[in-house]
Structures are given as C-alpha cells and as structure tokens.
Amino acid sequence: MTIPLSQLELEKIPNEPGVYLYKDARGEVLYVGKAKDLRARISSYFRNGYLSPKVQRLLDTAKELEYILTRTEKEALLLEATLIKKYRPKYNVLLKDDKNYPLIRINLNEEYPALQIVRKRKKGDKALYFGPFTSAKAIREILKLLSKTFPLRRCTLAEMRRRRAPCVYYQIKKCLAPCVRDVPREEYAKLVQGVVDFFQGRARELLDKMKAEMLELAERLEFERAAFLRDRIQELEEVLNKQAVILSTPEDFDLWHAKIEDEDLYLIVLFVRFGYLYGFQPFRLKKPIEEEGALKSLIIQYYSEGKVIPDKVYLSWQEENREELALALSDLAGREVIVSPLPKGEEYSYLLEIAQKNLEHFRLSQLRKEKPWHDGLAEELARLLRMPDLPRFVEAVDLSQYAGTARVGAIVCFFEGEPDKTRYRHYHIKSEGRDDYSMLYEVVYRRLRRGLEEGNLPDVLLIDGGKGHLQTALQAAEDLGITEVALAGVAKNEKRAPEKLYLPGRKNPVFLPKHERVYHFIWRVMEEAHRFAKSFAEKTKERLDFSSELLDSIPGLGPKRKKILLSHFSNLEELSQASLEEIARLPGFNLSLAKRIKERLTANEQK
C-alpha cells in the first residue's frame, strides 16, 4: 500500500511484520527498511525527538510511504534484501561486493571426475564445492601441486571425447589419460577420494593411508607402484606444509566481525572450511540510518548474491532475533543453517583475534589512501618530537597586533592531519605586557588551563618562534603541572617558511627541510595559524577604530579615560552589555559619565 506522507495516519498501519519503502516526488525509492512491527517502526520516524541529520534529510525528501506485509520477520528480511538489490536506494547501506572468490568444483557423478575452478555455485548443482578461496593465485598453485599427487584429468568432457592421443600432461605425469587409456575406475576413484579428503581436512589421515599402502606394495615386491606412491606422498607433504590448521576439529563456518568508527562501518568475514582458514573478505560501508538489525540485513545481502553458505555462521556480537537470520539463511541455502555467537575456547579466540587484526589493518589501509596522516606522517612526527604515542590533535599558536593595539592570540587545531575548525580559538590579550613573551604566556596558559578543565588537551602544541618562545610556553605548562603535551618552537626564515624546530631538552634545533613530510605539514599548520591570527587582529582593529570614533563624541571622555575603557572592554558589544555601576567603578569614571556612554551606545544601536 502506497500513502502520501501528508495523508499518513500512523494508527492505521498494522502491527505486523513487513517491509516499508520511502519514495520521493518522482516515485524513486529512497530507502527500504524492514520491521517486526511496521506501525512501531514507522512511528519512530515521526515522534518528537532527536533525528540524525541523515534521517532528517530522508524525511525532508520523501513524499510517499509504501509498506508490504509479510507473514514472518524472516520473509521481511529476505524481501528487504531483494528490494535493496533491485532499487539500490540512496539512503540504504549497500554491500557492494563485486568479488566472486574462486571455488573448487568436482562432480562425482562423472565417470572420470575432474577439478574445476569456478566463480559461482550453480543453483541445484549436486557437485561438490570447496571454498571460497580469497587468492586465485594461491588456489592455482595448490592445484598445480596436487596434480602431481592426484593426476586427475585436466580436459573438459567434450575434449576428452574428441581426444585420440594423450596430451602433454600425461607425458609429465600429471594426468592418467583416461581419455585414451584404460584406467581402472577403482584406481581413479582412489585419486578422486584423495582430493576430496584433502579439501575436507582429512589430508593427514590420507597421508597415513598412503604410507601404509606404500609399505604393503613394497612387501609384495611391487616396487614400481610403491615408488609412484612414494613420490605422491612427498608431493602431498609439500602441499600440507603450506596449509595452516586453525581448528583441531574439521568445522565449516563463516565468522563475522564488525566495528563502527566515526561515520563508517567496517565488516570482515572469515572463511573456515574443515578447520582450515581459507581466507577473509573485509568491507567498508557508511554507518546505517537504523543501527538496529542493520548487520543482519547486510549479512543477508551478502549471501543472497550467490555466495556459498556454510552450515554455521558465527557472529562476534550479540544479535537479537538470531533465529530469524538463521531461518532466512536456511531458506537461501535450502538446508538448515545455524547462526550463533562465536563459541568460547582458545582456538575461537585466536580466530577472533585474526579477524580484529585484519579488519584494523584494512581500516588503516583505507584511511592511508585518503590521508597521509595514516601513511606514516603521524609516526614520523612522533619520532621527531620523541613522543611515546602517536599524536592525533596538533595545535599551533600565533600572535598578532597593530602598533600595540588589537593584541590577539589564535590557536588552530589539526585532527589526524586535517583542520578541525570546531577547535579553533582566539584570544583578546588582557595583560598589560606588550612584548611577544608575555602575550604568548597568557595565550598558552589560558589554552592549557581550559584544556585541563574540559579534558581536551592537544597532543602537540607548536609555538611560532624560537628557543625563547618555547621556554615561555614550557613555563606556562609547568605552572599548570602539565607534562603530557609535546611542545615545540617553530622558527621561520626570511621567507616565513619553517626552518628550525626547537625541542625541550635539546641544545641544537632540528633542521626541518631534512624531514620533508613533517616539514610540509608543519608549514601548513603554521600558515593556517598565521592566517587565523591575522584575520582576527584585523577584525579587532576595525572594531576598536569604530569604537574609538564613536566614543570621541561623548563629553567628558578624553584620551586617557577612553584608553581605560577600551582596555577593560574588548568590544562595543561587551561595553553595551555592561551595567552602569560596572562602568562607573572604572578609575576616573562616575555614574554621570557612565550614563552618557550608555545613551550614546543606545542611540548608535537604534540607527
């Protein structure tokens, strides 16, 4: 049923499972969601309360709502995946998986079965499939080695029927040539079973059988067959040495692990087959609009693309209504699939650790593509500043003034190598000192004191200046008892480019151009600090000039009193908000003069 949002009556929506679709004015699907209770879920969008910016944009754009009832939550889960695949809505998280990892296929119903590498499992196919293998190169290498131990046919059925003479694989002993030779089926079946045992995790038992058979043949003086078996044993041992057993029991399952970082959702799935780790696949997605049940929907999206569904699916998190996910996967697989939390035990904990490490490695590799900070810049800066941990927040201080007036300080902040303007700060200098050192001490002291109070101290604080400026900043930090902030003085050359880096406890400065990446980063930070300080000083000077002109017309307010007034109040707005008593208490002022000042300001505001 499709309803215009302007005519939506929530009480008429059924309390039943189903799927809902938000559409825009042209009827295009913007978002597909599922619900165990449609009325409750849809109502949650229209309650008075906080909505994320993404949800608010969705509701601002949507003009229609369509909902489809289903009999169970399982059906809703499957229908949601189908509709997302069909419409690819703008506001849904799409698991864009264009990788179909290779599978090994062997059809035991053929007279002389062969191994094939395929990318998809055919629906209804009764052949055996092994995989997925995340490295096509690795699986080809394994098959190349296995062909020495188990010389199965390499040609297709059509080629096999046409062939009149053995191919080159027979000459190099990698095929028994059943196409033209009379190969006993029992002998060939043993080779096929050996391959199946290998991929089903029973390779060690197979090796023991082959060794026992070799000794038996030698005792019967069948040395040629025993030598053939000996060579196969050696080749199989070479293959097994390249395989890593993860579990002591030959289990088949996929392990899913997830991590949310800022606005991104990271997922990884590990493929464990017969106790061996075949590989893994990571994903990076935008954080879903609705976090509840989102991971469940993404898993269904993944397996509905024709992926091999194992007998068990383990989750590293506690998923509500796992039964519905299990039923949906069972429906896709055509057999029972168990979904459960990862079992306890050392082997499973090791697997989870593998998932966590590889997901974190994937996350950082994605960030490195976008930010140099994650591609060694943070490490290089930490090494240069002799920091025990990698920095994230780097701030820089700069000062500016105009002939002793408009004295200001400014601080800019870079988070992981990029400007974070929410943490920019500017300061009106309140102290009487006109030199750089007293101004710098005030700005650094005020910034660090506020950082202590709010718990947002920077990791690095860069000072515009040399050794003397660094010592002033260090004194401010020492007076506050702060030791965890890395301080450094940045001295510039005549072209205003950073040249020397002064560090606490180091006699000689570091020559920055030798450290190219850090050099360019610090230059960028200091230039931004200079720009921010200068622009704020210009605005302050304009306000002061205007304030001075305005105050010149007030009787009884001469140069000395005006200077006292402007030094006490930063701008006209602050002066306007001050009470008569506060102005009158200033040295040389009285209530009568305070009234004239307030009247002049009021008249200016009315203009």
Q: What's the token pair of residue 28?
A: 């295009």
Backbone φ, ψ for residue 180 (5° rounding): -125, -15
Q: Which of 403, 326, 390 is nearest to 72 (CA)?
A: 326
Residue 329 DSSP SS3: helix
Q: What is the pLDDT of residue 381?
A: 93
CATH architecture entry for 379-540: 2-Layer Sandwich (3.30)
Q: Sheet with 264-273: list strands edge to edge.
A: 276-286, 264-273, 253-261, 312-315, 338-341
The H or E element that residue 19 is part of is strand 18-23
Q: What is the pLDDT of residue 571?
A: 63
Sequence-distant (6+) residues with CB within 8 A of 457 are 448, 451, 482, 484, 485
Place of tokens 């009827």: 27
Work out the angle between the directed axes of helices 203-219 and 185-199 (0-180°, nearest 10).
150
Burial of 353 from C-beta contacts in 10 A (0-12 / 13-18 / 19+): exposed
Domain ranges for the chain: 2-87, 103-240, 253-369, 379-540, 553-606
Contact status, residue 108 vs residue 116, Cβ threshold 8 Å: no
**Equal CATH topology for 253-369 and 553-606:** no
Contact status, residue 380 vs residue 373, Cβ threshold 8 Å: no
Conformation bin of residue 293: beta by default, left when phi > 0, alpha when psi is -120 to 50? left
pLDDT band at 444 (very low <50, low <70, confident <90, very high): very high
Domain 253-369 has CATH 3.30.420.10: yes
The neighbouring-strand residues paired with 32 are 21
Q: Is the pLDDT of residue 205 over 80?
A: no
CATH of domain 2-87: 3.40.1440.10
Q: What is the pLDDT of residue 2?
A: 83
pLDDT digits (tens, 9 = 90+) for 127-142: 888 877 766 776 776 7
The H or E element that residue 126 is part of is none
pLDDT digits (tens, 9 = 90+) for 158-179: 888 888 888 888 888 888 888 8
Q: What is the pLDDT of residue 135?
A: 67
pLDDT band at 596 (very low <50, low <70, confident <90, very high): confident
- C-alpha span between 424 and 535 (Å, rounded): 13
The H or E element that residue 391 is part of is none
The neighbouring-strand residues paired with 103 are 118
Q: Is the pLDDT of residue 578 over 90?
A: no
Q: What is the pLDDT of residue 33?
A: 92
> What DSSP string runs through 549-600?
HHHHTSTT--HHHHHHHHHH-SSHHHHHHS-HHHHHTSTT--HHHHHHHHHH
Cis before 132? omega within 30: yes
Average pLDDT over residues 37-50: 85
Least confident of 8-22, 494-508, 550-564, 575-589: 550-564
pLDDT band at 241 (very low <50, low <70, confident <90, very high): low
CATH superfamily of 553-606: 5' to 3' exonuclease, C-terminal subdomain (1.10.150.20)
pLDDT digits (tens, 9 = 90+) for 478-493: 999 999 999 999 998 8
pLDDT digits (tens, 9 = 90+) for 286-297: 888 777 778 888
Q: Is the pLDDT of residue 496 over 80?
A: no
pLDDT band at 394 (very low <50, low <70, confident <90, very high): very high
Average pLDDT over residues 100-114: 85
